[in-house]
Structure 1
Amino acid sequence: MDPQAFIRLSIGSLGLRIPGPALKSSKAGIHAFSAPCSCEIRLRGFPVQTTPIPLVSSSEVTPDIHSIATSFYLEESDLKALLTPGCFYNHHAYLEITVFMGRKGTHFGVGVKRQQIGTFKLAVGPEWGEGKPVILFNGWIGIGKNKHENGKPGAELHLRVQLDPDPRYVFQFEDVTMLSPQIVQLQGSVKQPIFSCKFSRDRASQVDLLNAYWPGSADNLDIETGRRERKGWKVKIHDLSGLAVAAAFITTPFVPSTGCDWVAKSNPGAWLILRPDVVRPESWLPWGKLEAWRERGFRDAVCCRFHLLSEAQDGAEVLMSEIRISAEKGGEFFIDTDRLMRQAPTPIPSPQSSGDFSALSPISGGFVMSCRVQGEGKNSKPLVQLAMRHVTCIEDAAIFMALAAAVDLSIEACKPFRRKFRRGSRGSRHSL
């Protein structure tokens, strides 16, 4: 399998040093030193990211060089857009970090503004597209208008900006998951078959799935379009030889919670993600658990929460991701260890790695996988990206295909439970 080129732009080792004179000259006075500090990180074409910055009181202290505040992942088209001048923006694209003190909000009904301390800018250059590891900046730098007031430095920002190659494998389900599609690897315009996906369900759930794709069928007008539970759904991932190399199945049925017609967080449905047992080929071992439920609001969302099941301790679970996906438009489920490092730095075991997880340590963590799916009632053909460093064999990729299939099917499993009656009956639609 040949990967596609991606790069990871990481910003970390953040720290803010504000000398005494700078504090006294600020509008917030000495209290500003105890106020929270944060920064907004901007890169053209990407959403603004906000992260806190710790205050550093001693000139001898250097922030942890391994701490990552945020990361941007760029593919070839992103780099091309950043390096190409446009008509409606500056000739040069920049990584821009604006530092603030205080919080946005109100105090006794009066708006409170954050105090802007200063801005750090780093131009996007040709070295961004060379595909080599490079440290773009590392150390302290003065920021703001009072960089050298009275010959003394003002506020200083410490940061480390680094580029690293982050090649990925990209896969596409060629049809809706319920129709047991082939899974191909994408490399430019070339599609290479890698896996096949086999979906099955028990008899009790067949009517539910039939109505999901043929809701206008006259034979089904008097049947529930969503029975009171959705269970018995299974997915197996096969390699090109036909050997099953990963699987997922519903362990906790998707059922409406008491007093409502949807799957609530208090009682989520759940999938078990399985890998083959290398010792006993006919057996399966649990690898992960995916829970899903629906959150109602102005725009409904399906929430997916993934736990890795520890091999070292029976029953131990490690939270790796919890993502909200628009029920109407769909969205992206992902696993990114950078976003979990502050809580619990945890390596992600490779399904066939026999417990040797050294290559997946938090320091070499970051992006692991993503799965883009469509919303309810749409022909969702999941698009999956896997970081190459987390794939050591074909089974590694297969287990993430099973997880992606479970995420995609959870969008349908979390649809509201409603009835549809025969034409002419009192009330053509009725919610249970």
Structure 2
Amino acid sequence: MFVTIMDPQAFIRLSIGSLGLRIPGTALNSSRAGIRASSAPCSCEIRLRGFPVQTTAIPLVSSPEATPDIHSIASSFYLEESDLKALLTPGCFYNHHAYLEITVYTGKKGTHFGVGVKRHQIGTFKLAVGPEWGEGKPLILFNGWIGIGKSKHENGKPGAELHLRVKLDPDPRYVFQFEDVTLQSPQIVQLQGSVKQPIFSCKFSRDRVAQAGSADNIDIETGRRERKGWKVKIHDLSGSAVAAAFITTPFVPSTGCDWVAKSNPGAWLILRPGTLRPQSWLPWGKLEAWRERGIRDSLCCRFNLLSEAQDSEVLMSEIHMNAEKGGEFFIDTDKQMWHAPTPLPSPQSSGDFSALNPNLGGFVMSCRVHGESKSSKPSVQLAMRHVTCIEDAAIFMALAAAVDLSIEACKPFRRKTWRGSRHSL
């Protein structure tokens, strides 16, 4: 059965980059290209209504001729239609106009010998949100130097100046939803507005047969000392397997504790179908997962892209999520510091498209999952530019399923005593 992926949903990417700060009269040591980090750190807080505040460092620019790298991205916001509508709609409890607001500081926020240390605010840059944000076209909203703060031109002399580049780009995405928890082998649908289209099925299995009366409850595994043999296969609607995820390193408690620790994480291998032999699989990625204890336990997921020969790896993402409430696993090259010397294999079964090529950059995928306190039906978003065929989408469904199942795999191994026995498992 042939299925065509529906049109993507509209998203826009707001990027802020090419940051630099020029403060006349400040004694700065010369450096290469006239740009350097300050001994008194400079930073900024970037705000957009309805989104978490983002904080980033700003390099000082010592040379009047120097210009920060035009390609550097310091911060990004991703907006869907509902976000843009909310920003353009006046409300009762905030200003009529929404703004992108960047406040620049010198000094560090924190304490020194128990005494609070305040940062010094240099100034603020504000850019109003307008209807042009929703036109769906690439648009440079600002690029260059601008004076900020109260001392913009005191005594006829320029004050502090901020260099930045603010740009809008269309960032269309495919949106998918698991119709049930991953353990129940659900159908996966694509969402487009109110329309749902079946696109894949997800088949979960495990090597070990559950004990009688517990076939529908994987928590029986928490009484054992390892979790292994779990498998997920993604099938298209014709029944052909188009992606898979297998546990390759068992999830076991580390020495002296009852949880999977960072020193010995469990691991999944994410696979795509082989092209030369039927029923064969080729490695595409590796997902490692472990639990970190604290006031609120965290689930940590680290994803590496593999070369076809498995002789090299590229770190694509390392995310910490609340173990109880869940969160979002994502791959976003603007937010992850990584480098790939050569393009790596695509999830596409033909292997001729270099998806996740570092030259593409930006958002790749996200997977939102619930934590241990609630059954999870993962929702997945994929950047359109990384999907050229249905197999490309399928491999990310396998990765999303592995992330979701890692919440179960990383639950603590509690010792249980069977009735009538003095020995625990």
Using the size of structure 2 for normalisation, the TM-score is: 0.91
Instruction: Give yes or no for contact 1:275–1:287 (8 Å, CA) kept in 2.
Output: yes
**What is the alpha-carbon distance in structure 1 between the residues aligned to residue 411 and residue 239 of structure 2?**
32
Name the structure 2 match of 1:380.
376
Deviation digits for residues 253-308 of structure 1, max 9, x if unmatched?
Answer: 00011111111111100000000112333311100000000111111111000010
Name the structure 2 match of 1:344.
339
The question of 1:327 aligning with 2:290 is answered no
Name the structure 1 match of 2:41.
36
* Closer/same/farther in 2, CA of residues 203 and 224 from structure 1, 3 Å limit: closer
3-state SS of 1:229 partner: coil
3-state SS of 2:47 partner: strand
Name the structure 1 match of 2:281.
284
Name the structure 2 match of 1:149.
154
Name the structure 2 match of 1:110.
115
3-state SS of 1:150 partner: helix
Name the structure 1 match of 2:32.
none
Deviation digits for residues 379-418 of structure 1, max 9, x if unmatched?
Answer: 2110000000000111100000000000000000000111
Of the three residues 206, 218, 225, the one matched with 1:228 is 225
3-state SS of 1:34 partner: coil
Name the structure 2 match of 1:252.
249
Mark the runs of 5 or more structure 1 residues left unpaired by the alignment.
24-31, 216-222
Instruction: Give yes or no for contact 1:417–1:431 (8 Å, CA) kept in 2.
Output: no
Instruction: Give yes or no for contact 1:350–1:391 (8 Å, CA) kept in 2.
Output: no
* Closer/same/farther in 2, CA of residues 379 and 173 from structure 1, 3 Å limit: same
Instruction: Give yes or no for contact 1:39–1:100 (8 Å, CA) kept in 2.
Output: yes
Single out whichever of 243-252 and 377-386 deviates more from structure 2. Answer: 377-386
Instruction: Give yes or no for contact 1:225–1:420 (8 Å, CA) kept in 2.
Output: no
| 1:170 Cα deviation from its structure 2 partner | 0.4
Name the structure 2 match of 1:139.
144
**What is the alpha-carbon distance in structure 2 between the residues aligned to residue 202 and residue 386 of structure 1?**
31
**What is the alpha-carbon distance in structure 1 between the residues aligned to residue 149 and residue 45 of structure 2?**
15
Equivalent AA in structure 1 for residue 151 of structure 2 = N
Name the structure 1 match of 2:54.
49
Instruction: Give yes or no for contact 1:173–1:181 (8 Å, CA) kept in 2.
Output: yes
Name the structure 2 match of 1:92.
97
**What is the alpha-carbon distance in structure 1 between the residues aligned to residue 188 and residue 336 of structure 2?**
30
Equivalent AA in structure 2 for residue 122 of structure 1 = L
**What is the alpha-carbon distance in structure 1 between the residues aligned to residue 340 and residue 232 of structure 2?**
30
The question of 1:241 aligning with 2:242 is answered no
Mark the runs of 5 or more structure 2 residues left unpaired by the alignment.
29-36
| 1:348 Cα deviation from its structure 2 partner | 6.4
**What is the alpha-carbon distance in structure 2 between the residues aligned to residue 314 and residue 213 of structure 1?**
35
Deviation digits for residues 333-390 of structure 1, max 9, x if unmatched?
Answer: 000001124x436766421263553x75545311100001111152211000000000
The question of 1:202 aligning with 2:202 is answered no
* Closer/same/farther in 2, CA of residues 431 and 292 from structure 1, 3 Å limit: farther
Q: Percent of pairs identical after alignment?
A: 85
Instruction: Give yes or no for contact 1:261–1:431 (8 Å, CA) kept in 2.
Output: no
RMSD of Structure 2 on Structure 1 (CA): 2.4
Deviation digits for residues 305-351 of structure 1, max 9, x if unmatched?
Answer: 0010023x64211111111111111111000001124x436766421
Instruction: Give yes or no for contact 1:224–1:420 (8 Å, CA) kept in 2.
Output: no
**What is the alpha-carbon distance in structure 2 between the residues aligned to residue 258 and residue 60 of structure 1?**
58
* Closer/same/farther in 2, CA of residues 21 and 65 from structure 1, 3 Å limit: closer
Deviation digits for residues 198-257 of structure 1, max 9, x if unmatched?
Answer: 1110125x3499377387xxxxxxx77431100000000001111110000000000011
The question of 1:409 aligning with 2:405 is answered yes
Deviation digits for residues 98-147 of structure 1, max 9, x if unmatched?
Answer: 01111112222222111111100000000011111100000000001111
Of the three residues 165, 174, 181, the one matched with 1:169 is 174
Name the structure 2 match of 1:120.
125
Name the structure 2 match of 1:219.
none
Instruction: Give yes or no for contact 2:11–2:81 (8 Å, CA) kept in 1.
Output: yes
Name the structure 2 match of 1:16.
21
Name the structure 1 match of 2:293.
296
**What is the alpha-carbon distance in structure 2 between the residues aligned to residue 415 and residue 360 of structure 1?**
31
Of the three residues 369, 373, 390, the one matched with 2:365 is 369
**What is the alpha-carbon distance in structure 1 between the residues aligned to residue 123 and residue 250 of structure 2?**
53
**What is the alpha-carbon distance in structure 1 between the residues aligned to residue 167 and residue 135 of structure 2?**
13
Alignment of 1:304-315 (within 5 A): 304-311=301-308, 314-315=310-311
Name the structure 2 match of 1:271.
268
Higher helix share: 1
3-state SS of 2:60 partner: coil
* Closer/same/farther in 2, CA of residues 133 and 198 from structure 1, 3 Å limit: same
Deviation digits for residues 31-52 of structure 1, max 9, x if unmatched?
Answer: x953111100000000000001
Equivalent AA in structure 2 for residue 319 of structure 1 = L
Equivalent AA in structure 1 for residue 281 of structure 2 = W
3-state SS of 2:316 partner: strand
Of the three residues 210, 217, 224, the one matched with 1:213 is 217
Equivalent AA in structure 1 for residue 278 of structure 2 = P
3-state SS of 2:144 partner: strand
| 1:21 Cα deviation from its structure 2 partner | 6.7
* Closer/same/farther in 2, CA of residues 49 and 258 from structure 1, 3 Å limit: same
